[in-house]
């Protein structure tokens, strides 16, 4: 089944009810009315089991490099703060922004893999 077509009720265009072609791609248009089709991805709602907050954050450690412009002999280095280099963040944990509660898997290991977040949320948070 085509995932984009599958995102629409009865596989038809919501504007003109024209049948969506089976080979429709993300961003493809309805040949009849020009409606643009997208794959609708289901989203989940996080609810903190400790405090009820709905704000989940990815707590990451980011390495920042400040280029040094001048190496002063007294060790008071002159940094080029305009041109900092930020490297990709490394996830430390996924945590509630209200109380700091962190997501842990069934083996009580802190979750750092984004693919495990929806699995955890689906299991622990009531979805409306």
Question: Site residues (CB under 5 A) for Zn ion?
Answer: 13, 15-16, 18, 30, 32-33, 35, 48, 50-51, 53, 96, 98-99, 101
**Beta carbon nearer to Zn ion, 51 or 68:** 51
Question: Dihedral sign, CA of 25, 27, 29, 35?
Answer: positive
Q: How far is the CB of 125 from Zn ion (least distance, A)?
A: 11
**Beta carbon nearer to Zn ion, 29 or 90:** 29
**Beta carbon nearer to Zn ion, 18 or 78:** 18
User: Locate tokens 């945590």: which residue?
Assistant: 95
CA distance 76 to 116: 45
Task: Return left, alpha or beta for 4; rule: phi > 0 is left, psi -120 to 50 is alpha, else beta.
Answer: alpha
Q: How far is the CB of 56 from Zn ion (least distance, A)?
A: 9
């Amino acid at each position: 089944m085509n995932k984009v077509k599958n995102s629409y009720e009865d596989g038809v265009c919501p504007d003109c009810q024209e049948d969506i072609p089976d080979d429709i791609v993300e961003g493809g248009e309805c040949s009849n009315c020009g409606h643009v089709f997208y794959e609708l991805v289901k989203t989940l709602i996080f609810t903190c089991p400790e405090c009820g907050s709905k704000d989940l954050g990815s707590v990451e450690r980011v390495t920042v490099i400040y280029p040094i412009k001048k190496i002063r002999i007294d060790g008071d280095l002159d940094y080029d703060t305009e041109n900092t280099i930020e490297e990709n963040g490394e996830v430390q944990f996924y945590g509630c922004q209200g109380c700091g509660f962190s997501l842990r898997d069934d083996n009580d290991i802190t979750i750092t893999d984004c693919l495990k977040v929806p699995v955890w949320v689906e299991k622990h948070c009531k979805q409306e």
